[in-house]
Amino acid sequence: MNATSHLLFALDDTLYGLAARAVQEIFLLPALTSLPEAGPEIAGVLNLRGQLLPVLNLRLFLGHPKQPNSLGQAVVLVQHEGQRVGLVVDQIQNVEAIAPPHITTAPETFCTDNTRPALTFGLAQHADSVIVLLNPEALVQGAAGLAPSGSARLAAAEGIANRFMTQFAPADQQVLRERAAGLAQLLATENASEQLALAIVSLAGEQFALGLEMVHEFTHVSQITPIPCCPPHIVGNMNLRGEILTLVDVRRFFNFSSAATAPPQKAVVMRLGPLVAGVVIDDVFDVVYVNASEVAAMPTAVHSNDNPYLKGVARYGDTMMSLLDLPTLLTQGELVVDQSG
Q: What is the CATH number of the domain that holds 97?
A: 2.40.50.180
Q: Based on the fold, state whether residues 50 and 86 are members of the same structural domain.
A: yes
Domain extent, residue 252, equals 194-335
b/e map of 148-160 (b: 16 or more CB within 10 Å)?
beeeebeebbeee
Residue 246 included in any domain: yes
**Residue 340 maps to a domain:** no
Give the gyration radius of the chain's Cα atoms.
22
Residue 40 backbone zone (phi > 0: left; psi -120 to 50: alpha; other: beta): alpha
Q: What is the dihedral of CA 35, 139, 27, 155, to 10 degrees?
A: -20
Are 47 and 119 part of one and the same domain? yes
Same domain as 273, residue 161: no
Helix (H) or strand (E) holding 183: helix 170-185
Q: Looking at residue 116, what DSSP letter applies?
A: S
157 closest CA partner among 279, 332, 38: 38
Q: Select from 164, 190, 216 the last residue of a domain.
A: 190
For every one of its 341 residues, what pLDDT tens digit does the chain have, with 9 covering 90 and above? 567 778 888 888 888 999 888 888 778 889 998 877 777 788 888 888 778 888 998 998 888 888 888 888 888 889 888 888 999 988 777 777 787 888 887 655 444 455 667 888 889 876 677 899 999 998 988 777 665 554 344 444 444 447 889 889 999 999 898 888 877 765 434 444 566 778 888 887 788 888 877 777 788 888 888 888 777 788 889 888 778 888 888 887 777 765 555 678 888 888 777 778 888 888 887 777 777 777 776 554 444 445 677 778 877 766 777 888 887 777 764 555 444 44
Answer yes or no: are the C-beta atoms of 41 and 122 closer than 8 Å.
no
Domain tally for the chain? 2
Q: How far is CA 11 from CA 60, 90, 121, 194, 266, in A?
A: 10, 6, 18, 30, 22
CA dist list (Å): 290 to 52, 176, 245: 19, 17, 30
CA distance 180 to 336: 46
Q: Are residues 27 and 139 in the same domain?
A: yes
Distance CA 143, CA 170 (A): 29
Residue 131 sits in the same domain as residue 274: no
Q: Are residues 266 and 127 in the same domain?
A: no
Looking at the structure, tell me whether residues 248 and 285 fall in a common domain.
yes
Q: Can you give the pTM of this predicted structure? A: 0.59
Nearest Cα neighbor of 28 from 180, 184, 199 is 180
Residue 302 lies in a domain: yes
